[in-house]
Amino acid sequence: MKPSLRDYLAISAALLAILLCGYGIGFLVGERSTLLRLNEASAVSQGRADWASATVQRLTRELSLSPAQQAAVTNEVALTAPPIATARHQAMRQYRRALIDLHQRLLPHLDAKQCQLVEESRRQLQLSLDKDTPTSD
């Protein structure tokens, strides 16, 4: 028996429904993962200043620390926070310098318009590096 036009339309409608459901699920999952990444990025930038308190809170929650243990952990984290902040600061300066070098090496491979875009990005990086307070790197 040969399929009729009605059969082809039913199959097409079913395939379209499957496609739309897949697209909708993919959109929702993608949106959720984007929100998670944005929240993580926000937490990282916001958490720079209060890394020590967030670490103590997390350790207290995960390890069920007693008040005495929490006080000891707080002291240890407070001792560790300055070297971590210094290492992070130095790493970010090194990262910016590496990006500036990369931008410089890219220029011979780009056309004039692309060079302008890369130059602007490189200037912004250099400004952020210059604004950064110098440390003993």
Q: Mean of the pLDDT values across residues 35-60?
A: 69
Q: Tell me: do 1 and 35 sit in the same domain.
A: yes
Greater pLDDT, 19 or 47: 19
Q: Tell me: do 96 and 129 sit in the same domain.
A: yes
Q: Tell me: do 78 and 14 sit in the same domain.
A: no
What mean pLDDT, rounded, does the chain reach?
82
Range of the domain at 34: 1-47
Residue bearing tokens 């350790």: 59
The answer to whether the CB of 96 falls within 8 A of the CB of 104 is no
pLDDT at 134 over 60: no
pLDDT at 40 over 70: no
pLDDT at 75 over 90: yes
Q: Looking at the whole model, is its pTM more than 0.85?
A: no
Q: Tell me: do 103 and 74 sit in the same domain.
A: yes
Residue 95 belongs to a domain:
yes
Residue 29 belongs to a domain:
yes
Residue 76's closest CA among 100, 58, 56? 56
Q: Tell me: do 72 and 129 sit in the same domain.
A: yes
Q: Tell me: do 40 and 70 sit in the same domain.
A: no
Q: Tell me: do 24 and 77 sit in the same domain.
A: no
Close Cβ partners of 107 (under 8 Å, ≥ 6 residues apart) = 115, 118, 119
The number of distinct structural domains making up the chain is: 2
DSSP calls for 52-103: HHHHHHHHHHHHT--HHHHHHHHHHHHHHHHHHHHHHHHHHHHHHHHHHHHH
Q: Indicate the pLDDT class of residue 137, thresholds 50, 70 and 90.
A: very low
